[in-house]
Structure 1
Amino acid sequence: MFPTNQSFGNSVVLAAAARLPQPLFPPTIPGYVQPWLGQESSTSDHPRGVPAFVWGPAARERRHRAGYRNHTPIGAPWLYLLALEANSAIPVPPVRKALLPPEPKPNRLLYFPHHGLQGELAARRTAIALGSQAPETTIALTHEQAASEATRRAYEDVGARVVDLGPARQEVGSVAPFFLQRILQLIRVHRSVRTDVVGTYALFAHSAGAIVEAHVPRERLDALVERELGPSCVMPAQELRAIFDWSTHV
């Protein structure tokens, strides 16, 4: 299995969507699954003949222009997670209480800041710009950002609450919430979501029905969800099992 197939809990979600009996221990996927928005091709060794399972039409078109073939849009794992949530079927690892995201006070804003290459300098500017909203804001940082004491302190000094989204890569059998599950948990307990760029977090929140503060019209978010996340490409369980050669695991 490509190592990135385990990133963000993607393989766990897909195994659950395929209705495998042990989704927390997903079988090998015979190909490369797009792990994140804009990562439809592997950044490491990815032979062009290897099957790729991308999210939506936009990823397929970008791969085609880059000279890649043998790609199948299957919809983003996030969309399968939302379907699992609707059916109370999300596979839940034996989570340690200390690893659960903190329960925020009501009416808080969930903010996914974009620091670019400026790191703590951008964090300080963003924190100051929050102004009086800071004490009512939850700042969601990647595991790498949260590991920077200066970055965390920039937000904590203005009264914001900082949460660590946890590592993107998760070993099979981990007792931590997988990355996508953690994002969904946070979205569900906040009044709205703010992003600095119209990227993965904005599209995830919008497709989950959350109020998104992203400075773009709702219609634009609708179009991006369709093209990038690929809801029209989502497959039923039987087709997922067939395309991944998982039929023998049922």
Structure 2
Amino acid sequence: MHHANHYYGHSHLLARYCGLDQAEPLRIRGYLQHGWNIGDGMAPDHDFVPGVPLFLWSERTRRRAWSFGRRQTYVVGAPWAYLLAMQPDGGQPREGTIWYPFHGWEGQRVTGDHGRLVDEIRAVEAGPVTVCLYWQEYRSTRVRRHYERAGFRVVCHGYRGGRWGDLDPRFLHRQLAELRRHHRVASNRLCSAVFYGILAGCAPAVYGDPMQLSGEQPIWGGQPRIRAQWAPLHGPQVDPVAAYELAVAELGADRLLPPAELRQLFRWPEPAGRPA
């Protein structure tokens, strides 16, 4: 099915949870949400075949999908939440902040003042800062040097994969290892990485110049709606209890399915050695 099902190693990770071989990505008979958004969970630039099921992260997303006329929807929880369930926190020491600047993607570049963002980060963060860049910005010496010259550690979790190629089953594992090194997670826009960090035990923050995508359209209400509807998550300091409750709800961490049910929904086989 759709190549986006394999982004960030999602299909590999869920296959592992289901007790299946992770060597090759398994076909999911439907569309799996691959990132947090304020719409129906699906990327607005993708074409979808009517009647094919949507596998969404949360009940909140499913309700939004229904409001758009999407009917064949199933809440399965975010792959990230399954990873945390399989790899509990070992209580390792944490220090400083991991910061995720808003990034572009293969179809759109991001524009903004990275120097200004560096000044905003310095004004807020008291401890050491790790800046995680998307692969496009990481490959840009000009962008990367803004943060390196500020004395920040700069990393990249890797390439998400695309068109059934360059798949990286370890992407989320690297991201989890980085998040568990830090006390805080922050970004200049509310995004998947912030919710992931909250669920992984980081105190969140959303502040700074939000930057812009080339040709960006305010789909589903855009940034004004996000700042209004998810106001408790915005600011240099936020309530960690409220933030955790929101992260659980948006990632469907309270809605994870048992392996047998997930296999049935995805039309995956039983593990080898078990009766069909």
TM-score (norm 1): 0.82
Aligned partner letter, 1:238: A
Task: Give the aligned partner of residue 137 of structure 2.
Answer: 145
2:41 paired with 1:40: yes
Task: Give the aligned partner of residue 99 of structure 1.
Answer: none
Matches within 5 A, 1:96-107: 107=95
1:87–1:108 distance in 2 versus 1, CA, 3 Å: closer
Give the whole-Å Cα distance in 2 for the aligned partners of 1:237 and 1:118. 38
Q: CA deviation at 1:34?
A: 0.4
Q: CA deviation at 1:170?
A: 6.2
Task: Give the aligned partner of residue 12 of structure 1.
Answer: 12
Aligned partner letter, 2:12: V
Task: Give the aligned partner of residue 102 of structure 2.
Answer: 114
Give the whole-Å Cα distance in 1 for the aligned partners of 2:269 and 2:89. 22
Q: Secondary structure at the match of 2:142?
A: helix
1:191–1:220 distance in 2 versus 1, CA, 3 Å: closer
1:67–1:171 distance in 2 versus 1, CA, 3 Å: closer
Task: Give the aligned partner of residue 160 of structure 2.
Answer: 168
Q: CA deviation at 1:135?
A: 8.4
Give the whole-Å Cα distance in 2 for the aligned partners of 1:127 and 1:238. 47
Aligned partner letter, 1:37: W
Q: CA deviation at 1:147?
A: 2.0
TM-score (norm 2): 0.74
CA offsets 1:144-193 (integer angstroms, 9 cap, x no match): 22122221111112111111121111687979563211210111222322
Confirm or deny: 8 A CA contact 1:55 1:74 kept in the other structure. yes
Which of 186, 191, 196 is the aligned partner of 2:188? 196
Q: CA deviation at 1:234?
A: 0.6
Q: CA deviation at 1:197?
A: 2.9
1:157–1:27 distance in 2 versus 1, CA, 3 Å: same
- The percentage of aligned residue pairs carrying the same residue is 30
Q: CA deviation at 1:247?
A: 2.7
Q: Secondary structure at the match of 2:42?
A: coil
Aligned partner letter, 1:30: R
Matches within 5 A, 1:172-187: 178-187=170-179
Give the whole-Å Cα distance in 1 for the aligned partners of 2:192 and 2:78. 11
Unaligned runs of 5+ in 2: 207-234
2:221 paired with 1:209: no
Give the whole-Å Cα distance in 1 for the aligned partners of 2:32 and 2:167. 23
Give the whole-Å Cα distance in 2 for the aligned partners of 1:153 and 1:239. 47
CA RMSD of aligned residues (A): 2.9
Q: CA deviation at 1:118?
A: 8.6
How many residue pairs were aligned?
233
Which of 231, 236, 247 is the aligned partner of 2:253? 231
1:87–1:172 distance in 2 versus 1, CA, 3 Å: farther
Segment of structure 1 superposing worse, 188-197 or 22-31 = 188-197
CA offsets 1:15-73 (integer angstroms, 9 cap, x no match): 011111x1232321101000110162243220121111000012111211111110101
Segment of structure 1 superposing worse, 235-244 or 127-136 = 127-136
Which of 61, 64, 76 is the aligned partner of 2:63? 61
Unaligned runs of 5+ in 1: 89-104
